[in-house]
Amino acid sequence: MKSAADLQIITYPHPTLRYQAKPLRKVDARLKEIVDRMFELMYEYRGVGLAATQVDLPLRLFVMNSTGRQGDGQEIVMINPVISRPRGNEIAEEGCLSLPSIHGNVIRAKTIRVNAFTLDGQEINQDFSGYEARIIQHETDHLDGSLFIDRLKEGSELEIQGELEQLEIDFESRQRTGSLAEDSQLKADIAAWEAAYC
């Protein structure tokens, strides 16, 4: 299994991005290192949220900081998040670190209730609204194998077709040249992580 320092952000169409992450049953020192590394990658690539599936881990957790700046705002870790009580609708542009250079308008609930656990095992049971609610919905989608491009209006899908095809070509060539593991190896890695944490 990879160490935390080796984790990197994976990009579309990597199959783990379509994986339904399993609930986490254990938190240990290595998992804390993974969370630190996820924040590091999120800041490095100027994101505001990062889900475990985006670093090729099949674990139900994500990190976020709505300011996107280290040392500013609040760093939030959500383990096994469950969203309920969606209220209102809001449309806004989204992007994703796993879909570089692609943006699109997505409708999300304006306010949500979130139930989750922190890294220390504290229960979160809180309402979020606006930008934070949007980030939580986007990251929870990742844990269900869903991407924001799945939620674009028909028609705006066509506008990003060229970019998606380019990402597909890049991915295939990386897999062909061996700089990316074969699908069978990716599946074995996922099984090992699940055996350890889920």
Which residue's CB is nearer to Ni ion, number 27 or number 59? Answer: 59
Which residue's CB is nearer to Ni ion, number 11 or number 30? Answer: 11
Which residue's CB is nearer to Ni ion, number 76 or number 96? Answer: 96
Which residue's CB is nearer to Ni ion, number 171 or number 196? Answer: 171
Active site residue 33: no
Site for Ni ion in 67-126 (CB under 5 A): 96
Contact predicate 37/7, CB 8 Å: yes
Mention every residue, 6+ apart, whose C-beta is less than 8 A from residue 18. 145
How far apart, in Å, do the first and last CA atoms of the chain sit?
A: 15
Which residue's CB is nearer to Ni ion, number 78 or number 96? Answer: 96
94, 139, 159, 163: the catalytic one is 139
Beta carbon of residue 57, minimum distance to Ni ion (angstroms, whole number) = 14
Indicate the pairing of strand 76-94 with strand 104-117. Answer: antiparallel
Residue with the CB atom nearest Ni ion in the bound state: 96
Beta carbon of residue 138, minimum distance to Ni ion (angstroms, whole number) = 6
Indicate the pairing of strand 49-51 with strand 104-117. Answer: unpaired
Task: Give the residue among 142, 134, 120 at the shortest CA–CA distance from 50.
Answer: 142
- Partnered with residue 124 across adjacent β-strands are 116
Beta carbon of residue 117, minimum distance to Ni ion (angstroms, whole number) = 21
| Total of chain residues touching Ni ion, rule CB under 5 A | 1
User: Would you say how long the chain is, in residues?
Assistant: 198
Indicate the pairing of strand 76-94 with strand 123-129. Answer: unpaired
Beta carbon of residue 175, minimum distance to Ni ion (angstroms, whole number) = 21
Task: Give the residue among 21, 190, 34, 2 at the shortest CA–CA distance from 119.
Answer: 34
Indicate the pairing of strand 49-51 with strand 76-94. Answer: unpaired
Site for Ni ion in 5-64 (CB under 5 A): none
136 binds Ni ion (CB under 5 A): no
One-letter amino acid at 187 equals K
Q: Which residues are catalytic?
A: 139
By CB under 5 A, name the binding residues for Ni ion: 96
